[in-house]
């Protein structure tokens, strides 16, 4: 395992952004400190041809552009949606920026995806740290977050998150990488299975209704591997953009949440997580985005597997809690394991 540090660029405000490369001799992962973002994952196919299997940009101008749909970043403080941008905590009402129809999305106008994180090499890993002050984007408490990226010889890219707060708050973190195991084109022929008997029902504004509905017998049933495109035209909205409730033996267990394979390249990916939910999103709103090496990305040219707590949990007491109090430590682990058959 090698870990390499190199410059990546500067933000429009003049902040220095560094890149870190994790290289196990087979897979090469590039991260940047802006948004704790995964910029590229270069992995071989079954014939040893190497392709970049995540969408992104070549430079900081791309990552800071309005065209950036959260490529590869860490979303926070609250990944996914909070209805109406409002929640209550211990009798106090809080208001957030509404930036997705009627919802607050992915932490607000300037969430964790738009911050420059501190970073250091720790052994064969990269640890990124961010301090979010009390009241930032409307959230209570000064929050300190650590996100450690590591890559092993088995092709496992591991994300270990931890966080503490000095005031009771809510927290929901995820990585928002857009994967394409073929390295280009549509992902509708990729096969996917998701280990979930239920999903979070949403209204037409993608706001959770509170219902957890069985997937059995519906277009949402991905328990057995099937092409992403097989039933996508039947799915509510423009395609998959739904939280699945992962089948787990015990809370906090590292559980296989999803498996994806590309029949053409032979590349496969497993997603393991300690989180209770996973947002399966098929890049429905990506249209004509100019990305790396002059490539143009379009609708359903990628898929996201965003491990998380359920969307809008603060407004649904029956959902797993996203509250974090002083003296407690938020912890979660997500692993993306890459291989080629």
Contact in structure between 268 and 341 (CB atoms under 8 Å)? yes
In this prediction, residues 283-293 reach a mean pLDDT of 97
Contact in structure between 62 and 68 (CB atoms under 8 Å)? yes
How would residue 68 be classed by pLDDT, with cut points 50, 70 and 90?
very high
Share of the chain above pLDDT 90, in %: 99
How would residue 4 be classed by pLDDT, with cut points 50, 70 and 90?
very high
Catalytic residue among 270, 301, 306, 309: 306
Catalytic residue among 176, 190, 242, 309: 176
224 carries an active-site annotation: no
In this prediction, residues 44-70 reach a mean pLDDT of 98
pLDDT at residue number 74: 98
Distance CA 276, CA 144 (A): 22
Contact in structure between 128 and 147 (CB atoms under 8 Å)? yes
pLDDT at residue number 283: 98
Residue 43 clears pLDDT 90, i.e. is over it: yes
Contact in structure between 259 and 225 (CB atoms under 8 Å)? yes
176 carries an active-site annotation: yes
pLDDT at residue number 40: 98
Nearest to 307 by CA among 265, 269, 264: 269
Give the 3-state secondary structure of residue 293: helix
What are φ and ψ of residue 60, in 5° steps? -65, -30
Nearest to 264 by CA among 334, 186, 171: 186
How would residue 254 be classed by pLDDT, with cut points 50, 70 and 90?
very high
pTM: 0.98
CB contact set of 35 (below 8 Å; sequence gap of 6+): 63, 72, 73, 74, 112, 113, 114, 115, 117
10 Å Cβ neighbour count for 325?
A: 12
Tokens 């010889």 belong to 153
pLDDT at residue number 341: 87
Residue 136, token pair as written in the block: 């930032």
Q: Which tens digits make up the pLDDT trace of 128-182?
A: 999 999 999 999 999 999 999 999 999 999 999 999 999 999 999 999 999 999 9
- For domain 2-340, is the CATH number 2.70.98.10? yes
Average pLDDT along the chain: 97
User: What are the structural domain ranges in the chain?
Assistant: 2-340
In this prediction, residues 271-294 reach a mean pLDDT of 97
């Amino acid at each position: 395992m090698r870990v390499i540090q190199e410059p990546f660029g500067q933000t429009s405000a003049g902040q220095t952004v560094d890149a870190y490369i994790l290289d196990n001799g087979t897979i090469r992962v590039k991260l940047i400190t802006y948004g704790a973002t995964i910029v590229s994952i270069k992995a071989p196919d079954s014939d040893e041809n190497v392709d970049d299997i995540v969408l992104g940009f070549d430079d900081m101008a791309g990552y800071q552009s309005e065209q950036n749909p959260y490529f590869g970043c860490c979303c926070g403080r609250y990944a996914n949606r909070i209805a109406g941008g409002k929640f209550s905590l211990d009798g106090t009402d809080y208001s957030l920026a509404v930036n997705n129809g009627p919802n607050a999305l992915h932490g607000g106008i300037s969430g964790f995806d738009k911050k420059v994180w501190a970073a250091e090499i720790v052994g064969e890993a990269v640890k990124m740290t961010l301090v979010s002050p009390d009241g930032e984007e409307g959230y209570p408490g000064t929050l300190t977050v650590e996100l450690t990226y590591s890559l092993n010889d088995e092709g496992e890219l591991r994300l270990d998150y931890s966080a503490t707060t000095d005031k009771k708050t809510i927290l929901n973190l995820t990585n928002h990488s857009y994967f394409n195991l073929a390295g280009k084109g549509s992902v509708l022929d990729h096969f996917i299975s998701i280990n979930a008997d239920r999903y979070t029902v949403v209204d037409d504004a993608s706001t959770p209704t509170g219902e957890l509905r069985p997937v059995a017998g519906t277009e949402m049933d991905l328990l057995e591997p099937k092409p992403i495109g097989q039933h996508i035209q039947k799915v509510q909205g423009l395609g998959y953009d739904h939280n699945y409730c992962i089948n787990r033996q015990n809370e906090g267990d590292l559980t296989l949440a999803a498996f994806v394979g590309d029949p053409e390249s032979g590349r496969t990916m497993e997603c393991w997580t300690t989180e209770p939910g996973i947002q399966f999103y098929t890049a429905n709103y990506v249209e004509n985005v100019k990305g790396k090496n002059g490539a143009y990305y379009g609708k359903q040219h990628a898929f996201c597997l965003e491990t998380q707590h359920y969307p809008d949990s603060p407004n649904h007491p029956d959902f797993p809690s996203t509250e974090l109090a002083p003296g407690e430590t938020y912890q979660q682990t997500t692993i993306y394991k890459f291989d080629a058959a």
